[in-house]
DNA sequence: CATCCACAGGAAGGACGGGGGT
DNA sequence: ACCCCCGTCCTTCCTGTGGATG
């Protein structure tokens, strides 16, 4: 046994600590977020004097450091609290996972209830009972609790949860709470109850996307931790940064690129990560994304997609009507009910928005107005679709030669 | 210039299913 | 246990339209 692991570990020539490249990792240094850290710290500082900090709403696109900064501040706050002998608590909740009223309250409460027997069960209690327990538990700490709700827009009962949490201070005597809501959807607040909106948005923080140069610094810091010395060629990090900056300055994407590039280099038994590996990684990530989307598509969309691929081989400037004709053939072959062209037009739009096809409206004058459809990676997508059992069998299928006869 | 194609894409509503409230 | 509301998926019906063609 020992020898097996030894063999594998010996092959590990590139990574020192891969964790540092994962999105969940909270680094010691957060380059180019000094301003946000300072601002958030000054908002939360009253907590250390035992006062109530304002609630905060943090907005920023994915990979702009919202979560990392919050967690970082939380850690600092708790440490500083210990140092100053103030009871400060930091609760982090990801609302994409914990997405109901009950479960949010339960999770927050259980953070304060240390004894197993008294913990709140996953289900079964009335929600307001959970709330009472939560208040009790926080009150016992007689300190300040900062509650972070990450991806707060994913909450199913956002209004109720936020209303509940934001009025906790009225029910508390000795303890104080502050809510930090994090979202990448600015429009999210529009759907909130005005009272909740004003109480959550006492302070607003915006996290702008990183520039390519800033991403370079971030990757540099992480690379120092993640990799052994001098395994990364010097142009690799700028390239990762530049590619990620093309999107919208997403640090997560940049880190993914770097990590996947290194994994590829490792698997190829190479000692250094080069630009070439980044290029391969870029393709792999995009392809993985596409295959994953295609795999999880509903059956009707899969057939429309397949019809577009087949049509693309047949026609130049494939049009909606042609896709629909092939689609109907495929449905008949597979015994699947045929939807109307109106619906198919919408499905084509959906596929377009997912970025797996390109559909742009063109006018052919006398010959109508339609969309020209192009599948982005037809060969690869076809492979994925052909593995799908729910798809009709396409052996020796070829679209009818509909040479525009009336 | 008007026409007219082959759709785009909006509006309204039906069927269905899940989840929450009582 | 029941109902109600809401969201999703789909249909039907509809009006709108860019620009080659006559």
Q: Check if residue A349 sits with its Cβ under 7 angstroms from strand B.
A: yes
The distance (Å) linking the CA of A328 with the C1' of C14 is 24
Residue that is last in its domain, among A166, A183, A206: A206
Q: Are residues A238 and A317 in the same domain?
A: no
pLDDT value of position A404: 40
**Whether residue A403 has pLDDT greater than 60:** no
Nucleotides of B under 7 A from a protein CB: 3-11, 20
Q: Which of residues 73-102 of A touch strand B (CB under 7 A)?
A: 100
Distance from residue A366 (CA) to nucleotide C16 (C1'), in Å? Answer: 16
CATH number at residue A201: 3.40.50.300
Mean pLDDT of A305-316: 93
The boundaries of the domain holding residue A356 are 297-405
- Is A263 found in the same domain as A158? no
Q: Name the domain boundary from A206, A234, A257.
A: A206
Instruction: Say if residue A85 is in the same domain as residue A225.
Output: no
In a domain, A62, yes or no: yes
In a domain, A6, yes or no: no
- % of chain A residues with pLDDT over 70: 90
Which residue, counting CA atoms, is nearest to the C1' of nucleotide C17? Answer: A369
> What does the pLDDT look like over A11-44, one tens digit per residue?
566 778 888 888 888 888 888 999 999 999 999 9
Q: CB burial class (10 A; 0-12, 13-18, 19+) of residue A232?
A: buried
Q: What is the mean pLDDT of residues A215-238?
A: 88
Is A140 in the same domain as A154?
A: yes
Distance A94 CA to C13 C1' (A): 45
C1' nearest to CA of A363: which nucleotide?
C18
Same-domain check for residues A49 and A152: yes
CATH at A304:
1.10.10.10
- With pLDDT > 90 as the criterion, what percentage of chain A qualifies? 44
Query: If you measure CA to C1', which residue is closest to nucleotide B5?
Result: A368
Q: Are A345 and A236 members of one domain? A: no
Q: How far apart are CA A236 and CA A229, in angstroms?
A: 14
Domain shared by A244 and A327, yes or no: no
Query: Is the same domain home to A284 and A390?
Result: no
In a shared domain, residues A243 and A303 = no
Residues A324 and A363 both lie in one domain: yes
d(CA A191, CA A185): 11
A183 and A248 co-located in one domain = no
pTM of the entire structure?
0.76
- Give the single-character DSSP code of A273: B
pLDDT at residue A329, rounded to an integer? 94
Average pLDDT for A311-340? 93
How many helices (DSSP H) and strands (DSSP E) are in chain A?
A: 16, 8
The per-residue pLDDT for A406 is: 27
Q: pLDDT tens digits, residue range A132-166?
A: 888 888 888 888 889 998 888 777 766 777 888 88
Specify the nucleotide whose C1' lies closest to residue A343 (CA). C10
**Most confident by average pLDDT, A23-32, A69-78, A100-109:** A69-78
Question: A370 beta carbon < 7 A from strand B?
Answer: yes
Looking at residue A98, what is its pLDDT?
78
């Amino acid at each position: 046994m020992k020898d097996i692991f030894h063999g594998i570990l010996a092959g590990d020539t590139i990574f020192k600590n891969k964790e540092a490249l994962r999105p969940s990792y909270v680094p010691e240094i957060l380059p180019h977020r000094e301003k946000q850290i300072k601002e958030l710290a000054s908002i939360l500082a009253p907590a250390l004097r035992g006062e109530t900090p304002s609630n905060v709403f943090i907005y920023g696109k994915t990979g702009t450091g919202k979560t990392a900064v919050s967690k970082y501040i939380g850690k600092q706050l708790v440490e500083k609290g210990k140092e100053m002998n103030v009871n400060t608590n930091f609760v982090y909740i990801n609302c994409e996972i914990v997405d109901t009223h009950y479960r949010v309250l339960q999770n927050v409460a259980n953070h304060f209830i240390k004894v197993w027997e008294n913990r709140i069960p996953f289900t079964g209690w009335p929600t307001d009972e959970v709330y009472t327990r939560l208040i009790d538990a926080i009150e016992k700490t007689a300190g300040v609790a900062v509650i972070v709700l990450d991806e707060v827009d994913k909450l199913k009962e956002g209004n109720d949860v936020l209303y509940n949490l934001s009025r906790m201070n009225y029910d508390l005597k000795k303890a104080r709470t502050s809510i930090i809501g994090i979202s990448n959807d600015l429009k999210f607040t529009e759907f909130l109850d005005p009272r909740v909106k004003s109480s959550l948005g006492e302070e607003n923080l915006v996290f702008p996307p990183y520039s390519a140069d800033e991403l370079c610094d971030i990757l540099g810091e992480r690379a120092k931790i993640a990799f052994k010395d001098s395994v990364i060629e010097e142009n690799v990090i700028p390239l990762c940064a530049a590619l990620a900056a093309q999107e919208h300055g997403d640090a997560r994407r940049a880190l993914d690129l770097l990590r996947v590039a290194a994994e590829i280099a490792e698997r190829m038994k190479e000692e250094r990560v080069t630009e070439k590996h980044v290029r391969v990684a870029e393709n792999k990530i995009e392809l993985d994304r596409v295959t994953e989307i295609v795999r999880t598509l509903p059956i009707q969309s899969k057939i429309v997609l397949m019809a577009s691929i087949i049509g693309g081989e047949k026609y130049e400037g494939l049009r909606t009507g042609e896709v629909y004709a092939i689609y109907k053939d495929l449905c008949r072959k597979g015994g699947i009910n045929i939807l109307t062209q109106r619906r198919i037009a919408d499905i084509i739009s959906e596929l377009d928005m997912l970025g797996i096809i390109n559909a742009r409206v063109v006018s052919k004058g006398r010959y109508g107005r339609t969309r020209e459809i192009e599948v982005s990676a037809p060969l690869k997508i076809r492979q994925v679709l052909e593995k799908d059992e729910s798809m009709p069998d396409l052996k020796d299928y070829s679209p009818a030669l509909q040479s525009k006869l009336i």
